[in-house]
Amino acid sequence: MSSTPVPRIRPRRLRETPSLRRLVSETRLHPAELVLPIFVREGVTAPVPIGSMPGVVQHSIGSLPQAISDAAAAGVGGVMLFGVPEVRDAQGTGATDPDGILNAATKVAAEASAGRLVVQTDLCLDEFTDHGHCGVLDERGHVDNDATLERYTAMALAQAGAGSELLGLSGMMDGQVAAVREALDGAGHHDTAILAYSAKYASAFYGPFRDAVESTLEGDRRSYQLDPGNRREGLREAMIDIDEGADVVMVKPAGSYLDVLADVAAASDVPVWAYQVSGEYAMIEAAAAHGWIDRKRAVIESVRGIRRAGADAVLTYWAVELAEWINNGDTE
């Protein structure tokens, strides 16, 4: 008879079969908790592939309705629209033009959605300015916080008027939530919700996104986006935005800031989302293309990790594909 003690407590029992693992899973994925970012480019008649983001395209106005329908059919909770204009200027005037690419795309998306998912819009000037910054510049070439707020409130009214249900304030200007909320309420848009990109870090992982929106940025955004070394500051920013009236707060990027995400989720009394950004997407796609990782498992694990850290919803470029796997029961 062996003298080796037989363990009485065996956690492995609950990992023995797929059905047991499914039954006791602590973190589940659901299509409604996924949001698909969509790029819409002015002046094209067909989708344009984005080289640094395999499988992702810049949609044309004509191809956008099918993309919305595909996302809705998969059960995705929402789409976040980004505009890519043909012409840019120092003030980002295309952002407030009712016929500008983002506002025109919003009208198309709202009609195509027909209430099946939430149409959301990025509220930031970087795609529309010729200098590529998220705000207007002063005479020194620095981003002018308060002058930028005036542009943001005009953008908010244009986007709400075009049919956006949720405005994604991603510019990281001080006071942006309060300013936009006041403007929306003053114009009668009491039901238009605000998603505050509260803890948005000055990250290296945005590179492919800047390809996607054809960014003209020179320099960096460290004077307004958060320092990657700061954890407490991320929570502080989220609490300020909640106090100013944000309906949802965001941590971005997701994968490198799970500690900040967990902090915000533990303290917030509004929904907390996270953005799995372009660089996170591109790294997995590149590694998978080389056969270095199992693509499907890596996608599922990465999004599940973000949900486990506390995100109530995840913006991810895999939203539709992942939703289809979930619907087919194929996420084991």
- Does residue 107 carry a catalytic annotation? no
Return the closest-CA partner of residue 284 out of 273, 274, 275, 296.
296
Contacts of 8 (CB under 8 A, 6+ apart): none
- Paired strand residues for 121: 81, 167
Residue found by looking up tokens 């009491």 in the block: 190
Distance CA(272)–CA(172), nearest Å, equals: 17
Could you give phi then psi for residue 304, rounded to 5 degrees?
Answer: -60, -40
- On the question of a cis peptide bond just before residue 65, with omega within 30 degrees of 0, the verdict is no
- 251 near 307, Cβ under 8 Å? no
3 state SS of 6? coil
Q: At what angle do helices 145-162 and 101-113 cross, to 10 degrees?
A: 40
In order of 65, 141, 211, the CA distances from 150 in angstroms are 32, 18, 27
> From CA 36, how far away is CA 263, in angstroms rounded?
25
Per the CB < 8 A criterion, the answer to whether 227 and 202 are in contact is yes
- Which residue in 88, 252, 304, 307 is the catalytic one? 252
> In this structure, are residues 258 and 185 in contact, taking their beta carbons and an 8 Å threshold?
no
Dihedral of CA 91/95/99/100: which sign?
Answer: positive
Q: Which amino acid is at 152?
A: Y
Residue 231 tokens read as 């954890």
- Find the catalytic residue in 41, 88, 133, 200: 200
Among 308, 307, 310, 245, residue whose Cα is nearest residue 31:
307
Token couple for 208:
């492919």
**Residue 20 contacts by C-beta under 8 Å, 6 or more apart in sequence?**
13, 14
Catalytic residues: 200, 252
